[in-house]
Structure 1
Amino acid sequence: MGNNWMIRAGRGGTYIEDFETKGYAAIGWSKLGDLTQYKTNDALKEAYLREFSQAKPQAMANAVAMIVKFRDQIQKGDTIISYDTETRQYLVGEDQGQYLYKPDEVGDYPQLRVVNWQGRVDRDMLSQSAKNSLGSVLTLFSVNDDVIAEMRAALEGKPRKVEATEKALEESGSFELLKDEVVGKSHELIKDKLASLLPEEMEEMVAAILRAMGYKAKVSPKGPDRGVDVIASPDGLGLTQPRIKAEVKHRDGAMGAPAIRGFIGTLREGDSGLFISSGGFTKEARYEADRCTFPLTLVDMDDLSDLIVAHYENFDFEGRALLPLIRVFWPAE
């Protein structure tokens, strides 16, 4: 049994009709020319760097990996699928074992593989788990055998039978798992962006969060006393409570009890303390915070990410410039 591959027909399935009528699956990267000229993967990487010099290292690695799969790893007899976003149907076929370079044959996707397309499968005929596994936005990725088995059965007019109770459980469970996976990945990506900020930028980020929460906040002037980095209050003058004093430690590792005690020493009656550490806190530090007589909250990187997501809609220009994010809508059910 061969391997199975999804090859997307351009953004939004632009070239799906060309795929089906001309008997091809195709990818872009036209600047690279005929891929057979690159005898080694290193030669391909060098050419990619020349032609796409602005690409980030991870993006380059992903692209080269997909190009190599398309040229070398797809073999005769492998199952190829593509997706028509307009009709919500999957095109199913079999690779014929031939790579071609033909500019202008399929739009601006000159890298071709000859495919014998065998039919279409409605997305609604697939189980929810199969739909979820086909959700990757990559141009080319492998597909597991179970999904292909469902598609083959549907092509033969024998769609997978699922009892109503099983279907409800499957869709609910898979849906929640997928949602949790997406939220988890986005959470980690936000943390990656936060980790890349300079210490001074992290102070500005904390001030932006407090402003988004309804306070008037500003970063304290730099000076010999670095005990308080951000000051916030309802009036911006510190004359009304809560009066928040924040200490920000970024790229300094986990904070211990001495750092917390030092910060507590800067707090006065009417103050609330906020200690942010991107490196987290030791158990001793958390114990020290718990026994503090002033209101004191410790915020690690996970907490900071949660605060940003919760209040990002109210971020001002300065905050959004530090951490540009986009909203992703998700079905309620």
Structure 2
Amino acid sequence: MSSKTLWMVRAGEAGWRFEEFERQGLVSIGWHEMGDLAGLVAREDFMRRVEAAYPEAKPTWYPSAAGQVYRFVREIKAGDGMLTYSPSERSYLVGEVLSAYEYAPKASPEQPNQRKVRWRGRVSRDSLSVATRNSLGSISTLFMVPPEAAAEIERMLSRAPAEPVEAVQAVGAQDQVDDLYKDLQGKAFEFIKDRVSQLDWEDMQELVAGLLRAMGYKTRVSPSGSDRGKDIVASPDGLGFEDPRIVVEVKHRTAAMGSQEIRSFLGGRHDNDKGLYVSTGGFSKDARYEAERARIPVTLMDIDDLVKSVLEHYERMDIDTQRLVPLRKLYWPA
């Protein structure tokens, strides 16, 4: 089976149909509101049927739903490999597709779209590599399993009962988990940067002010229009009388700031001022040199620095600031 296409079809939420799949020798999907799908051929046909069946759904959901139903009806072939999973048992059923698409509303009104399957055996999730486990973690109801993962599952299916994992292998698996965590962190960081980049100028200014408040300062934000080189003033008292007095300029644009912009920002600053220049477009080499030799301390903050600071102080931010960049907490094994 390693050379065959292997599909995953989930057995409903939390695997509630897993035993039924195993006992009846089948896999099935829902979307019962779409009716019999045997007469649909092209993806466009499935898209139109999805739109007609679910008029209240978000338009962004239609392509995904149509694609999954199309694959179940038209792309899966008799002889392909089939996989389904029981989260409670941490076990994958591995089988082979026996039939073409069947519409069976009498057998299951909620999941009438079926295919017959001959189950060949089970593979424990704990026996699989981290890379394969990760590839099987999609939230989609139906998807194609990557060839490398399919080959490993076939090897596990042909093997005797699970062998004990050697210490060296366990260490290697932990390294893979750590690499996966770093990869997720990197992707999350880039998506957060995307979200921050989409803010308008006024919201960007409020985000920076909220960050400073989370760091223990009180802020005054300049109104729209001419600000004489400052957008925010942050200080312990909020009035700028107590040190440190931080003067902030926020530039929300794609172009990098040059040395001239830094010189203009520094002009008129008091000797005891501290400067913070935020530029989502970054800074030129000359701009960084200009900041290094400034007569007052100046910190240049590009979008990477801004997002890192937001993440560091996010839980201390007020609710209005958090609403500008709403984030969800993700728990990961320590």
TM-score (norm 1): 0.89
C-alpha deviation, 1:192, in angstroms: 1.5
C-alpha deviation, 1:68, in angstroms: 2.6
* Separation in 2, partners of 1:107, 1:312: 47
* Separation in 1, partners of 2:281, 2:32: 44
Deviates more, 1:231-240 or 1:221-230: 221-230
Match of 1:204 among 189, 206, 213: 206
* Separation in 2, partners of 1:273, 1:141: 52
User: 1:5 is matched with which residue?
Assistant: 7
- Tell me whether 1:264 sits opposite 2:271 in the alignment: no
Equivalent positions of 1:61-76 (< 5 A) are 61-76=63-78
User: 1:219 is matched with which residue?
Assistant: 221
Deviations 1:128-150 (A, max 9, x none): 33222222223222223343343
User: 2:101 is matched with which residue?
Assistant: 99
* Separation in 1, partners of 2:283, 2:57: 38
| Contact 1:208/1:315, CA 8 A, preserved across alignment | yes
Deviates more, 1:187-196 or 1:134-143: 134-143
Task: Give identity over the alignment, percent.
Answer: 41
Task: Go from structure 1 to structure 2 and tell me whether the alpha carbon gap of 1:226 and 1:116 turns closer, same or farther (over 3 Å shift).
Answer: farther
| Contact 2:43/2:67, CA 8 A, preserved across alignment | no
Aligned residue type for 1:94: E
C-alpha deviation, 1:183, in angstroms: 0.5
Equivalent positions of 1:248-327 (< 5 A) are 248-327=250-329
| Contact 1:219/1:229, CA 8 A, preserved across alignment | yes
| Contact 1:150/1:159, CA 8 A, preserved across alignment | no
Match of 1:26 among 28, 31, 40: 28
Deviations 1:120-179 (A, max 9, x none): 222122223322222222322222334334333433443676872540342122111110
For this pair of structures, how many residues does the alignment match? 331
* Separation in 2, partners of 1:250, 1:125: 50
| Contact 1:228/1:266, CA 8 A, preserved across alignment | no
SS state at 2:140 partner: coil
Aligned residue type for 1:164: E
Deviations 1:209-265 (A, max 9, x none): 112222222422223225212221222221222222221111342222222222122
Greater Rg by CA: 2
Task: Go from structure 1 to structure 2 and tell me whether the alpha carbon gap of 1:47 and 1:285 turns closer, same or farther (over 3 Å shift).
Answer: farther
* Separation in 1, partners of 2:158, 2:77: 24
User: 1:238 is matched with which residue?
Assistant: 240
Match of 2:58 among 55, 58, 61: 55
SS state at 2:100 partner: strand
Match of 2:188 among 167, 186, 191: 186
Equivalent positions of 1:11-160 (< 5 A) are 11-50=13-52, 51=54, 54-55=57-58, 57=60, 59-103=61-105, 105-106=107-108, 108-158=110-160
Aligned residue type for 1:227: G
C-alpha deviation, 1:269, in angstroms: 2.0
Deviations 1:66-113 (A, max 9, x none): 333222222111111121111111121111242123447457344333
Deviations 1:290-331 (A, max 9, x none): 222221111112112211211111121101211111111111
TM-score (norm 2): 0.89
* Separation in 2, partners of 1:90, 1:32: 29
CA RMSD of aligned residues (A): 2.5
Deviates more, 1:291-300 or 1:9-18: 9-18
Deviates more, 1:283-292 or 1:36-45: 36-45
Task: Go from structure 1 to structure 2 and tell me whether the alpha carbon gap of 1:135 and 1:86 turns closer, same or farther (over 3 Å shift).
Answer: same
* Separation in 1, partners of 2:201, 2:149: 47
SS state at 1:136 partner: coil
Unaligned runs of 5+ in 1: none
C-alpha deviation, 1:202, in angstroms: 1.0
C-alpha deviation, 1:21, in angstroms: 2.4
Equivalent positions of 1:154-169 (< 5 A) are 154-158=156-160, 164-169=166-171
SS state at 1:324 partner: coil
C-alpha deviation, 1:190, in angstroms: 0.8
* Separation in 2, partners of 1:156, 1:252: 56
* Separation in 2, partners of 1:228, 1:104: 70
